[in-house]
Structure 1
Amino acid sequence: MTSSPADALDGVVTAAAPDLLALSHAIHARPELAFEETFASAATADLLAAGGFEVDRAVAGLPTAFDARFGSGDLVIALCAEYDALPEIGHACGHNVIAASAVGAGLALASVADELGLTVRVLGTPAEETGGGKVVMLEAGLFDDVGAAMMVHPGPFDIVAARSLALADIAVRYTGREAHASAAPEWGINAADAATVAQVSIGLLRQHLRPGQQVHGVVGHAGTAPNIVPGSAELLYYLRADTADELADLDRRARGCFEAGAVATGCTHDVVTVSPTYTELTPDPWLVERYRDVVGDLGRTAAPREFETSRPFGSTDMGNVTARVPGIHPVIGLDSQGSVTHQPQFAAACVTESADRAVVDGARALARVAALAATDTHHRDRLVAAAHERTRRP
């Protein structure tokens, strides 16, 4: 590296910026749902391949996941690229920015991989919004040798030590019996009524939830016509809590509410796990503080530390990764004109000039933090040792 490592890394990102922004805009223009990100996965992997990465596609049994690798050093840095969109409102969570910034950081680190003793990996991680692609990849061993896993997520402002909630993604399915709603209602067992009782029970439970616990859901379906007693109904719910232990408590109480709907109406019911359970983020403190320093150097103003602990930004399968691997998941700010993630207006903001700056700054920040980890003897040894211990476990 040159006498100014940050300048060297920034220079690579600057040179790649036209391709990074083209990738971000292309993914944004073709939103794809969880596990269907065929275009986004291929476009992201292709750009890495063009930059000299060896790319394994369809890893962990997931057609839209990939593992791109450069270098052979003992410190493995993984950059997570998300690229799934939301139903109807597209990239209202800005995953196009995430993918492009991960590629940019990967290309920058590849330019110094030999000098810093790095193995640089960019992991294409599908289905963050629902499906838990990172959890599947984690369980398949894709993160076993990783010293540090990193990504940035766009938001209305910069948050360094972003907080997330543990999450359970479930479907509650009621089975009753159809009948003519006018001629023979007594023959029916109303699954829609079961769903209604369950929703009322959940509404009453909310008064007594512990701090940090949340319940929210929608009706998936509840009948086909007014003159047919609904024989089936489905509720789709997210349960969230500050920690996995608190989530287990909430899950127990919510299941009682769902059972109440079945008991009250005579239906049967099943509670089905839709996605793997997400755990809360536990970012690595040292990496967090290096990122805080770096974004300050880039001219960004992060939210105060007290704000970081006051409000979660949602839930993410990156929490499962940080539970096993040292990592960070900061939020990088863009001008969203007052909108927040998961609003159509935020989707529009994710291809603006401000979003483009977030792609470039995010790539620079991640690359700089990885370089700092590689050149700090104590923390490099810590990260390498933890990865070696992880790979030795049966």
Structure 2
Amino acid sequence: MSSRATMESEITAKLASIAAINQQIHSNPELAYEEHKAHSAFVSTLESLGFDVTPHAFGQPTSFSAEVGTGGRLVIFNAEYDALPGIGHACGHNLIASSALTAFLALAAALKSASIPGRVRLLGTPAEEGGGGKLKLIAAGAYQGASASLMVHPAPGHNLPPSILGVAHVRMLANVKKRIYFTGRESHAAIAPWDGVNALDAVCLSYNAISMLRQQIRPHERIHGVFRSAGDRPNVTPANCVVEYYVRSDTRAGAQRLWQRVLKCFEGAALATGCDVRCEELNSYADVRPSAKLCRAYVEAMEEGTVAYDEPRDILAGSTDMGDVCYECPGFHGVFGIATKEGEANHTHGFAAVAGTDEAFARAVECGKGMAEVGWRVLSDDGFAAEMHSDWAVDMKLAAEGK
């Protein structure tokens, strides 16, 4: 049998197990670092299918790792499975998990059948939604020595042309995340307001300064924030206020430059009101820099005409910790559309409902097949793998220069 036929046969044989994982995750949404049911479901399913699995992998309680093969190059498929507060799987991570499992099972079967050097790993990556799970996995060495890392992400299908089901080459923004603390001095707001130093004034002044700054930033850049703590009672001058802000740009270096401009808004507000200010680093994400070689191979692997190489406007904005993986090895983060309607973009109740449909699951499986074929090419085609790595090394030089 050809590698493609082997992979097709394996997916057909294991489809019920993949569907069960998909349904279990969607029906039991769990927040970042609390994905215990999803973790257990993956570990038990993979063990029942005959795989050696490492639970709680790389020091993370809700991560897992399963690997097949020896020697050669290493391909990693990322399975995400965390949900969002209040709206469940409104980013479709159940579908990401299903596509990654599909790709892993298919490529593992092909690798065993062909008896060639090479390894394929299914990596459970918790806490993408703001928790920076992949950052911790990177620090623990989960991607060390990887030749490529791949995943696909669902997106609102109504933003795609009717004939296009997905996009291969999708850039996403770098994201600097900060928590800012303003400290003033409390007083009775009626009896002795002159004794107080109002931290809420500093918050409001910085908010307005940032709103003015937005007029002077590039079209692709974003600044947004929320008030976490803004005082307790109107008659007590607020002494301690907290805000959180996300600052995004097209590169990691660009996001850091923009953050320095935003920082001046906070520092200026503190100076003007007499408050102290300090900033706490949260989980910042690098920009997604997909491998052109992997993207083109994916377009070729999918049914002709169904996947576009280039990204249409607004297909999937935002940021992800997969960006940091792209700085560790050649990465692929394609998107596929699911049957949403106007207004049902990611992080909405409507998107969560569509992510649980049979049609969306079938689309995820097809994407998993495509990723498996790309993974096979990485493992079996020396020339392709060498060119892919060479291109990635050049891109990392550009990234270091802030380009």
Question: What is aligned with 2:32?
Answer: 34
Question: What is aligned with 2:186?
Answer: 178
Shift of 1:182: 2.2
Which one of 305, 321, 336 corresponds to residue 340 of structure 2?
336
Paired with 1:29 and 1:176, the residues of 2 have a C-alpha distance of 46
1:187 partner letter: D
Question: What is aligned with 1:160?
Answer: 168
Question: What is aligned with 1:146?
Answer: 146
Question: What is aligned with 2:201?
Answer: 193
- Spell out, residue by residue over 1:8-51, the C-alpha distance to the aligned partner (whole angstroms, 9 max, x if none): 21221222222212211211222222222122222223222222
Which one of 41, 44, 47 corresponds to residue 43 of structure 1?
41
Q: Is the 8 A contact 1:242 1:280 kept in 2?
A: yes
Shift of 1:60: 3.0
Q: Is the 8 A contact 2:58 2:140 kept in 1?
A: yes
Shift of 1:304: 6.4
2:318 partner letter: G
Which one of 297, 315, 338 corresponds to residue 319 of structure 2?
315
Which one of 202, 205, 214 corresponds to residue 206 of structure 1?
214
Matches within 5 A, 1:277-356: 277-297=284-304, 301-303=306-308, 305=310, 307=312, 313-338=317-342, 339-356=344-361
Question: What is aligned with 2:400?
Answer: none
Paired with 2:68 and 2:390, the residues of 1 have a C-alpha distance of 21
Paired with 2:65 and 2:8, the residues of 1 have a C-alpha distance of 24
Q: Is the 8 A contact 1:44 1:99 kept in 2?
A: no
2:331 partner letter: G
2:261 partner letter: R
Q: Is the 8 A contact 2:47 2:53 kept in 1?
A: yes
Q: Is the 8 A contact 2:72 2:379 kept in 1?
A: no
Paired with 1:193 and 1:11, the residues of 2 have a C-alpha distance of 65
Matches within 5 A, 1:1-394: 2-3=1-2, 5-114=3-112, 115=114, 116-157=116-157, 158-275=166-283, 277-297=284-304, 301-303=306-308, 305=310, 307=312, 313-338=317-342, 339-380=344-385
Shift of 1:303: 4.4
For residue 327 of structure 2, give the secondary structure of its aligned residue in structure 1: helix
1:322 partner letter: C
Paired with 1:57 and 1:219, the residues of 2 have a C-alpha distance of 38
Q: Is the 8 A contact 1:56 1:67 kept in 2?
A: yes
Paired with 2:340 and 2:316, the residues of 1 have a C-alpha distance of 18
Shift of 1:143: 0.7
Aligned length, in residue pairs: 381
TM-score (norm 2): 0.89
Report the CA distance shift for 1:26/1:311 in structure 2 as closer, same or farther (over 3 A).
closer
Paired with 2:391 and 2:65, the residues of 1 have a C-alpha distance of 21
Shift of 1:383: 6.5
Q: Is the 8 A contact 2:83 2:129 kept in 1?
A: yes
Which has the larger displacement, 345-354 or 372-381? 372-381
Paired with 1:270 and 1:61, the residues of 2 have a C-alpha distance of 30
Paired with 2:13 and 2:233, the residues of 1 have a C-alpha distance of 59
For residue 302 of structure 2, give the secondary structure of its aligned residue in structure 1: helix
Shift of 1:384: 8.6
For residue 136 of structure 2, give the secondary structure of its aligned residue in structure 1: helix
Shift of 1:376: 2.1
For residue 112 of structure 1, give the secondary structure of its aligned residue in structure 2: helix
Paired with 2:167 and 2:7, the residues of 1 have a C-alpha distance of 23
For residue 251 of structure 1, give the secondary structure of its aligned residue in structure 2: helix
For residue 368 of structure 1, give the secondary structure of its aligned residue in structure 2: helix
Flag structure 1 segments of 5+ consecutive residues without an equivalent. 388-394
